Every structure is written in structure tokens, then in C-alpha cells.
A and B are shown apart, each in its own frame.
Chain A
Amino acid sequence: MAIEKYYHAHEVNREACDGRMECLRACPTDAIRVKDGKAHFISELCVDCGECLNACPHGAFVPLADTLEGTPRKGKLRVAVPSPVLYSQFPSEAGPRRILRGLLQIGFDHVFDVAKACDWATLATRLYLKEHTGRWPVISSFCPAVVRLIQVKYPELTKNILPLQAPREITAREAKRKLARENGISESEVEAVYITPCPAKVVSIRQPAEGTRSFLDTAIAISEIYPALREAVSEPDHEIKDELFEDITYGPGWSSLGGITGLLETKRWIAVSGMSDVTKLLDDIENSKLRNVEFIEAAACLGGCIGGSLVVENVYVARSRTIRLAQKYGHNIARHEHRAERLYHSGFFSLESPIAPRPLSPLDPDIAKAIAKVKERDEIYASLPKIDCGACGSPTCMAFAEDVVKGYAELSACVVSAARAAH
């Protein structure tokens, strides 16, 4: 029904889908419809949050991430850039060092830890907030699903998005530069592979909204890599190239909710997660209800990135581990201050281009006709049972009324109205 202009990192396996509509109710942007017993989603409405992947009892929503074995190498060197979420998927006794070594054992040529870039990005955010003169509050840009939600449903708020690179991108860019220099090859010969906790980051790599390009080339799900990595991590110790991992640090920020805001100088912040609460907060910002708030840390997944749909561990277990890891490997980010400040002023962290709105098309390109259609929709809605049963294949009675006005659905598809009329 819509032009497939936007890339998405998941698709529906029609054979696995038995039309149970769990996804229909779970989708926070009402993007899913069930027609002839099969789910499909409307591309322009989908913001890649991954709720449908979590909701489907049959795994009919399939992530389209790369695989360890199946994706051909894209250069001479393959380097892993693991999301810090990966560390929380193992008992905290395993520690980052064993896990990074494990990545080498399962076939990566190098690994680059994201922790340092997380510290840098936190410091850069501090500097940005100090100098910011535009609209408040500034909204974090690390969660691609939140960025897309803003582009689609809150186009005016794209101006509030922090125009800085996410730590994963900074790390990938650094890894490419360093390895290209050290090995006398071009940066394009270094393949940067993100080990991702969610499909939204796969999308941000393949169709970035946050800049003109991504420095990452490939994205493999944590859940995909976990079996092989688990085996490697649980092997008894053997020789480790320790010099590779001398500088292991761990910051819980950027993977667990509240981590970034806790390290900012301003205390006027709000940390929010979960699509429905993020939506409510964005509504408040648009109404100018939130005053005296400088920074919003927003993640689409409940609890932050550790709640992503491509992880294996329970989000609360993972949260407990991130706290323990931070106690063990935590550190004072102030030691990076000088370097980060210099880099910040050189534009090192800046996005290459501002984030543009991606507003939904109105009900009609002509305003007068659009008003008539809203009127028609409201009249149809008034006649509906308003129980949001979903039997028609639209997620709510309101969405159904809209689908009828748009010509996507027939009024006769409402079985409840039909049954009532028959009595």
C-alpha cells in the first residue's frame, strides 16, 4: 500500500505467521495490519523499534541482520565493535576481557571496545549542553528507533536531537583509521561489524538517518553470535594476547537507562524508556509542558539497550550485571577530558548533516479535502464499537476508520458492527 522507500531490518515470514495479532497490539505506531490472516506492516509508519519481534509467539517477524557464517567478508580485516550490552549477557565474573577474546576466537581479526567512545561521547554531550543556545530540551540521538519516532511523528522536534555521533559510530571510525594505518591498507578494506542488541541499529547502519553514512559495514545480532561466543568464553583459559585489552574499562551508560544522564553536569534531565512512555514525554515536550529540562535520555526499549529484541538475557538480570560490571571496571571519565574537549572543538563528534524530519503524509494533499476526510473518519469512528478488538485487521477502531477513509479497508470488515446489525 505504501511505497517501500524506507529500509527495515525485519520482514514477515508468511508461513510462520498464523494471524494471531499479538504484533498488531504491540506495535506502538499502529504500523501493522493483518489481512487474509497474515501480518504486514506499513513502511512509512514503522520506526524499527522491534516490539513486533518480541511480541510474536511464532517468530514470524524475522530480523534481517547479518550472520557470522552467512555474510561474506567485505574487506581484508574484519573487526568486531560489540555493543556494551554484550557484556551483560554473560555472568559478570566472565568480564569484558574474556568476551573480547572470545570474539577473536570465533573469527574476528580484531575487536574494538566501545567504552572509550562512550566516555568521549558523554563528555562531548556535556560540552554541547554548555554551549547550546537553541531549543530545549536536547534529546539523545543514540537510539535509532527514538530518532525515527521523532522524524515520523514529531517532525518539529528533530531540531532538539543531539547532533553528535553515537559511540558505536565513533569507535568504528577510529578502528578503521587505526587498522588501515597500521596495516598499510585503505579504510574500505577494514570491515567494521557491530554486535547489535536491536534491529533499529541494523537500520541505522544500512539507511542512516543520523548522518549521510555509517562507519559500520555489517551488523550481527547478539542472539546470533551468542552460542559460538558462549562456547569460546566458557573455555578454560589459554594464552591471551593481553596487550590487546590492557585498557579495559566499563561504563554502564549507553546500554542501561540513566547511565548517560547520571554523568552529566546538569541535573535537569529526564531518562525515559519504552515506546509508550517515550511517546508521552515527546507529547509533553511538543506541548511545551516540560520547562527547565535540559536533556532527555530516551531509549525505545524498556530499561535501555539491554532490553533490545536481539539479546538473550532477561533485561533485569542484565541490569543487575551492568551495575556489578561498573563497580568492578568503572572509572572516572575525567581522565579523557582534555582529549575529548580538543576533539569536540575540531568537529570530531559532530553529525555530518542535521537529522531531517520524515513526516507522515496527511490524509489528503489538499487541506480542504483532508479536513473533509478527518470529518468522515470521525463519523465512521462514532459508528464503530470502540473495543479495539482487531478482528478487522486494523489495530484500533480509530485506525480502522482511517483505513476506510484511505480506501485500505472496507467498512464491512467490522464483524462486531455486522453482528450487532443482525440482531
Chain B
Amino acid sequence: MSGERDIVLREQFSVAGRDFGRAGTVSTTIKSMLKQIGFPPDVIRRVAIATYEAEMNVVVYADRATVTFEVTPAEIVVTLEDQGRGIADIEEAMREGFSTATDEIREMGFGAGMGLPNIKKNSDDLKVTSEVGVGTTVRIKVLAHQ
């Protein structure tokens, strides 16, 4: 399995915490590259949604992040390494509906507790590691052949 595996496209982007105006630009850029490569629409859709959610998490909760985007003909991997408050209990955060937001904030439509579960739903493999007060790393993998 050499040849195909050797071709790797690797790009890096940065995301700034609190920058709501530019939130979503990384996932839009990634999406347009995947379209040009010609991945199936459903694969692109899943990568776009998972990346967008992860990007939003950085904007809302972290100070900054580096996004690494790696593509081979077999898989797409997006890794977001952020510096920020971190997640205390990852297992709890992965649960649908869990949110640190107050009821009042949630009623306004913010922090619905869908971020990580939605990323999980749209990826084939998800790894989250975190250290409180330091930051969180989210690694999203989507297979090119569903």
C-alpha cells in the first residue's frame, strides 16, 4: 500500500478565539479544497459540519487554535489544537445535550450542547484530549470511502 498513501496534502490555518466575524472561514476553505479534489458530496458534507462545529468551539471557548488539515486519497484528518480553558470532563462533554451554558443562555439558542456530539456523528473517528487551563486537541477523521 505505498503509492496512494504517499500523497499527502497538508495545510495549516489559524483560528482566533472570540472572532465571531470570521468563524467558519476555515471549514469553508477546507470544503472548497475537498470539492476541487472531487471527494463524494456526503464525505465533504460531514467534514464541513464537523470542522465547523470544532471551529465554533474554538471561537466560543478558547483563545486561539492551529488547524491542521491532512488529506490522502483514503482519508481526511482535521486536527484543532487550541490554547484555552480546556475541558474538565470529556466524557460528560461528549454526551448529547450536555452544556456548561446556563438555562437562560440556552433558551436564547446558545450552547445547546450539540457541539462535540455533532462532531462525533459526522466523523469516522474522533479523539479529544484536554488539559484544564491549557487547552484541548480535537482530531477528526473522515474516511474517503463510506
Contacts and interface: CB of A to CB of B under 8 A. Distances in A.
Contact of B41 (A155, A292, A370, A375): A155
Contact of B37 (A288, A357, A362): A362
Interface in A352-376: 357, 359-365, 367-368, 370-372, 374-375
Contacts of A362: 35-38
Interface string A218-238: 000000000000000000000
Interface of B is mostly: helix
A361 to B, nearest CB: 8
Chain B CB within 10 Å — which of A153, A288, A375 has the most? A288
Nearest to B72: A371
Interface stretch (B26-34, B60-68, B86-94, B125-133): B26-34
B31 A286 contact: yes
Interface string A270-302: 000000000000011011110110000000000
Given A368-B73, A375-B9, A288 B49 contact: yes
A370 B40 CA distance: 13
A287 B37 contact: no
Chain A contact residues (Cβ within 8 angstroms of B): what range?
A: 20 to 34
Interface in B10-48: 11, 24, 27-28, 31, 33, 35-39, 41-42, 44-45, 48
B143 interface: no
Contact of A371 (B49, B52, B53, B73): B73
Contacts of B11: 378
29 contacts: A153-B35, A283-B24, A286-B28, A286-B45, A286-B48, A288-B48, A288-B52, A289-B24, A289-B52, A362-B35, A362-B36, A363-B36, A365-B38, A367-B38, A367-B39, A367-B73, A368-B3, A368-B7, A370-B36, A370-B37, A371-B7, A371-B8, A371-B37, A371-B73, A372-B7, A374-B9, A374-B37, A374-B71, A378-B11
Contact of B35 (A287, A359, A375, A378): A359
Contacts of A360: 35-36
Interface of A: 153, 155-156, 283-284, 286-289, 291-292, 357, 359-365, 367-368, 370-372, 374-375, 378
Given A371-B9, A371-B71, 7 more contacts: A286-B28, A288-B53, A361-B38, A364-B38, A367-B39, A371-B7, A371-B73
